[in-house]
Structure formats: C-alpha cells, structure tokens
Amino acid sequence: MNIPLSWLKEAANIEDTTKTLLAKMTEAGNAVESLAVLGEDITSVIVGQIKSLERHPDADKLWITQTDVGTEVLQIITGADNLKVGDYVPVAIHGASLANGLKIKKGKMRGLDSNGMLCSIDELGYTVADFPEACDNGIYVFAEPRPLGADVRPILQLCEEVVEFDILSNRPDTNSVMGMAQE
C-alpha cells in the first residue's frame, strides 16, 4: 500500500525525520518496501502568466507567447492551442529538467528565439488520470492564479514523499491511512 507521508502527518502527530519514522515503523512490524519522492527529477519549472499570444509568421501551428515569470517576461514558442492571454501555466525555464529526462535550453523555432517551454501535465510525468482538470493535448493551465515564479512542484503536490508498505495478512488494522497513523 502506498501512503503519502503528508497524509500520515495530517492524521498523526509526527515530528520524526522520514528516516527515523520509517525505521520505527519497520521495528513495529510494518514492512517498508520503498520510499519514493515524487517530482524529484523536475527542476526549474515555475509559474508563468501568458501576457500575449500571436501566430508565428512562418508556421501555421505555432504560437509566440510573451510569458511573465515574475522576474522577467520570456518569449516562448509553443504548438499548443489551448492557451489564452491571462492563463497561469507551468514554465520550464532555461536549464530545467523534466520528468522524462528532457533538459530545456534556449533555442530557436523557425528562426525566432524560444526561451523555455510551456509544460503539459504529461511533460511533468503525470497523466490526465492524475490531474483530471488537465487537457489531453495541451499545456496545463492552473484553475486559479498562482504566484509568478513559484516552483510548481508544491502547487501540484509533486514533491511528495510516498512510502510503500507491505501489509501483512495478520495486520488488517494497518490497511488504511488511519490504521497506519494509529500505529
């Protein structure tokens, strides 16, 4: 059973470090199979706001965006057509890493500078099943305004520690978050 540590901490008063907590849980007979940190491979993806959108002069399917990331406005070219001016979106800036190992660099698209990438939920390593509000083939758009330049991982809860417990057949009481929290 996989349990996000934040859920355990909401249900029980836990002040131990993750390492100490997992050692105590193992000593109590709750086998810890693994610890995963979601989103640890995603870096330098921040919140941006679309300030302008115009068609690329040399490509029918590309858009030129001016995207405010809090400290500057970046020109980013995208093929996604689900955007509108004012949308808050995840922006992978120059030097960013995405879930699929992709490294983002400044570059040119059809002769124009593109200083980053606007991200879909897929590029962040998730699917529409994980984020039902996300569009299938487009950039992820936040449902409400977010602070410009903020790291998207905590906003999307992508920096969560998740523990996989092996629930023993003689311990059905630990087959839930509340049962583990009581333990």
pLDDT of residue 152: 94
What does the block give as tokens for 12? Answer: 């029980």
Residue type, 121: I
Write down all domains in the chain, each with its CATH number in brackets.
2-38+160-182 (3.30.56.10), 43-153 (2.40.50.140)
Q: How many CB atoms lie within 10 A of CB 2?
A: 10
User: What is the phi-psi region of residue 49: left when phi exceeds 0, alpha when psi lies from -120 to 50, beta otherwise?
Assistant: beta
> Do the beta carbons of residue 47 and residue 90 sit within 8 Å?
yes
Nearest to 149 by CA among 83, 76, 72: 72
Taking the C-alpha atoms of residue 179 and residue 28, their distance in angstroms, rounded to an integer, is: 13
pLDDT of residue 170: 74
- Mark 26-63 as b/e (b = at least 16 C-beta within 10 Å): eeeebeeeeeeebbeebbbbbbbbbeebeebeeeeebb
Q: What is the pTM of this model?
A: 0.77
Q: How many CB atoms lie within 10 A of CB 100?
A: 10
pLDDT of residue 65: 96
Q: How many CB atoms lie within 10 A of CB 13?
A: 6
CA distances from 161 to 5, 81, 109 (A): 6, 34, 37
φ and ψ of 28, to 5 deg: -80, 0
pLDDT of residue 21: 84
- Residue 36 pairs in a beta bridge with 162
Q: What is the pLDDT along the chain (183 residues), one digit of tens a residue?
A: 888 888 888 888 888 888 888 888 888 778 888 888 877 889 999 999 999 999 999 888 999 999 999 999 999 999 998 999 999 999 999 999 998 789 999 988 888 999 999 999 989 988 888 888 888 789 999 999 999 999 999 998 887 888 888 877 777 777 777 877 777
Residue type, 166: D
